[in-house]
Amino acid sequence: METLSRSRNHLIGVYHHRSDEWKQRQRKQRASIRLREDSTAWLLLELDSTWWQLRAAFDKYLTQARSYALAFSDVKLVQSYISCSLQFLDLRAGYGVFQKVEALHEEALQEAWSAMIPLAGLLVSKVLDTRAMTKLSEEDADTALVLLTSESCGRFEALVNQSFDEGLSGQTARQMSILFKELGLLRRAFQAKGAEKLQDPEAYEQLLDRAREAFEERLAVRRVLAERMRPQLCGNRSAKRISDGGTK
């Protein structure tokens, strides 16, 4: 039980750390958006508003999950009772506190899931309907053409993949990956309490399928853009197809 509680606390800590990193990246991106006045800025602002709503919903759950994890890890109560150093009335009082925390955690879990599933659906729809991955990848390609030179041809594949991965399309893909990891955490928490408690279990799978469409669009368009970029940077040198790359 102690091992399980340590693992649970570690997992919550990891997600808190990721949440802080996400906020830092998003604040930097928001600052850069303010310097722009074009269609890309409008698209990023549209996505940004939904990102922050999702972040608020998950952070609210994390706060309650941390309290739950701390209560769950308090195994000394049971150990003290077993060793006869604690009276039954004290044990019952402690168990009552745990039951209250358990109820609050389940309420927070339901609230987070109910808020995040529709918001995630809205976000994925925005990404697909606006062809965001295509537009942001085109922006990344334009930026790469400004920054890279003909001397980059020797490392063309690596440098272009890096440009896409670190650019707006890559940042958006990473944020979507983090989002679905967070939804996966909520889903596993439901499964631990009993699958019947999960509302609309098919919604998560449907969202995953739609998100895959966005990732596939990103990979397809980056290959096309890379093939267009090579002659602009390298002239008539022999071409080598760009690697698919991946979401970091």
Does residue 132 lie within any of the structural domains?
yes
pLDDT at 93: 52
Q: How many domains does the chain have?
A: 1
Cα 51 to Cα 84: distance, rounded to the nearest angstrom: 51
Does residue 14 lie within any of the structural domains?
yes
- Identify which of 147, 133, 140, 130 has the alpha carbon closest to the alpha carbon of residue 166: 140
Cα 182 to Cα 245: distance, rounded to the nearest angstrom: 23
Does residue 239 lie within any of the structural domains?
no
Does residue 163 lie within any of the structural domains?
yes
Cα 5 to Cα 49: distance, rounded to the nearest angstrom: 35
- The 3-state DSSP class for residue 87 equals coil
This prediction has a pTM of 0.73
Does residue 241 lie within any of the structural domains?
no
pLDDT in tens, 131-168: 999 999 999 999 888 888 878 788 888 989 999 999 99
Cα 155 to Cα 58: distance, rounded to the nearest angstrom: 40
Does residue 164 lie within any of the structural domains?
yes
pLDDT at 81: 43
pLDDT in tens, 172-188: 999 899 999 999 989 88
Domain extent at residue 163: 2-234
Is residue 111 within 8 Å of residue 198, measured between CB atoms? Answer: no
Is residue 68 within 8 Å of residue 101, measured between CB atoms? Answer: yes
Tell me the one-letter amino acid at 80: S
Is residue 168 within 8 Å of residue 142, measured between CB atoms? Answer: no
pLDDT at 214: 96
Cα 136 to Cα 168: distance, rounded to the nearest angstrom: 6
Mean pLDDT, contiguous 10-residue spans, the chain (248 residues): 43 53 60 61 86 91 81 53 47 60 86 94 95 94 86 85 91 91 89 71 89 96 92 64 47
Does residue 183 lie within any of the structural domains?
yes
Does residue 240 lie within any of the structural domains?
no
pLDDT at 40: 82
